[in-house]
Every structure is written in structure tokens, then in C-alpha cells.
Amino acid sequence: MKVYISVDMEGLAGVSHAGPTELGQPGYEAAVRLMVGEANAAIEGAIRGGARDVVVNDSHWHMYNLTPADLDPRATVIQGRKPWSMVEGAGPDRDFGVALFVGYHARAGHPTGTIAHTYSGAPVEVRLNGRKANEAALNAMVLGAWGVPVGMVAGDDALAAETEEWLPWAGRVIVKRAVSRYAAASVHPSVAQEMLRNAAHSAVDRAKKGELALLDVGTPVVIEVDFRDGGEADMAAVIPGAERFDDRSVRFVAPDPVTAFRGFLAGLRLAG
């Protein structure tokens, strides 16, 4: 079985505020080591579960955070600024049996989620078919259209609650408790890594047994983004098919999940 792992940074055990997640800031190198540790744990667990091919997508910020020499050599890593962002490399006809999300976080606007946001600092809130959505839901939507179920999501307890709502079949790994946007109570990194090994193993095993589901949001797909200001909304609304509404909001309506996701990404990039 081929396994796809998307690794972010804000949801890692030991990361409690935004400073260490930014290149060049104090603590960044330590955060990268935590990112490598959780990625390797997921790789190891997936292979224990029967994975024969593992692809890791570096999905944080500029997306060149992981140090390749420190990653498990049994995995392939995708890095750099990518057209498909957090789901790069998992497209149609790639035959992945399951996706695992590591280091993920709660949605923009969440009242307590640690470093909560959705893809960038521009969205204040994102809604998918009228429901508040985080990165895990948006990514799972595209992966579902490509035939890839999400089997595990790891991050804080706020993310776990959102995962239960959007992806109830997926394993939920809680490596920290969100105290506030810039505070968290984390388990030790070694404990988090053991949790991830076990959860990744279980997710691959459940995928082989056909116990997971694809996220199907139906059609048409409507993604609404409330931006920080009207100027950002003006830029995002340039996308064909986008509609500007309210003070600083843009609506993307598409006939399928992949087209909707493309419009969402393009709007964010123009807004930024």
C-alpha cells in the first residue's frame, strides 16, 4: 500500500506559539527537529502497518522545513513552493491507499485552537458548504475526490473535535491541549511520537481492511472566505467564478471539489 503523509508544524507537540514556526526566528531549528521526529514516527508506524511506499509532503509555510538527511530513508519527501500546496503529489492516478495528517491545527477563528488559521493569515473564517472548515477538511475534500481516505489526524484537542465532525472515521491523535491561541499543554515529544507510530500503524491497517471513508461534500461545492479586509477580498474576487459579498468576503462556487480547491488556493494567493 502507498501512504501519503502531509506534515505541518503548528500542531506538533512542544509547539505552543507562532514564533518558532517561522524561519530565522529563535526556536525554529528546535521546531524542525520536532517536525522531523513526528514525521519519522508516522513513517515508521505506516511501514509497520504494511506500507510499501511512503511519500511525505512538507506542508508548513514555505514548505522547505524538514531536513531530508534526518528523515527515515524509506520515505520520499516533497519540498518547496508547490502548486497543490498541502496535497501536492497525491493527485489522481497516484494510487495512495490512505493519507495521514501530522502537526495539523484548528481552523481560522477558533476560540482556543493553538496557532489556529486556515492556510494563511488572510482568512478570518473559511466555510465549506456552509460549515466552518479547517485545513484538514479542505485537504480531505480534495483527497476524497482523488480516491484517498484520511486515516489519521494529529494535533491539539481543538483539532480533534473538528476532525470528529468532518472525518469521524479518522484516528485522532491529541499531542497537546490548547490553552489559548498562543499557549498549549503538550505531552513529551517522545510520547507524541509513540502515539503517532501506533495511530499510523492502525490507520494503514484499517485502510487495508476497507474501514475508512472518503470525504464526499457533494456538488456543487461552495467555499466562502471572510478575509481580514476589503482589499484582500477585492484581489481574491478576481478569480473567475468568484463572487464578492458582504464587507470582506468572497464566495467560490464550483462543480466539483478539485475545481473549488483550485479557486480557493488561487484566491488566497492573490489576496496575499
Active site residues: 117
Omega before 257 within 30 of 0, i.e. cis? no
What is the C-alpha separation between 47 and 153, in angstroms, rounded?
A: 17
CB 230 within 8 A of CB 124: no
Nearest residue to 172 (alpha-carbon basis) of 146, 191, 200, 148: 200
What is the C-alpha separation between 271 and 242, in angstroms, rounded?
A: 13
In the chain the beta strands, taken as DSSP E runs, fall at 2-7, 53-58, 75-78, 96-102, 123-128, 131-132, 150-156, 171-180, 183-186, 221-227, 242-245, 249-254
What is the C-alpha separation between 160 and 182, in angstroms, rounded?
A: 18
Nearest residue to 21 (alpha-carbon basis) of 61, 78, 58: 61
Nearest residue to 42 (alpha-carbon basis) of 261, 199, 221: 199
Nearest residue to 184 (alpha-carbon basis) of 15, 35, 20: 15
CB 243 within 8 A of CB 253: yes
Beta-carbon-side half-sphere exposure of residue 268 (alpha carbons within 13 Å): 22
CB 261 within 8 A of CB 133: no
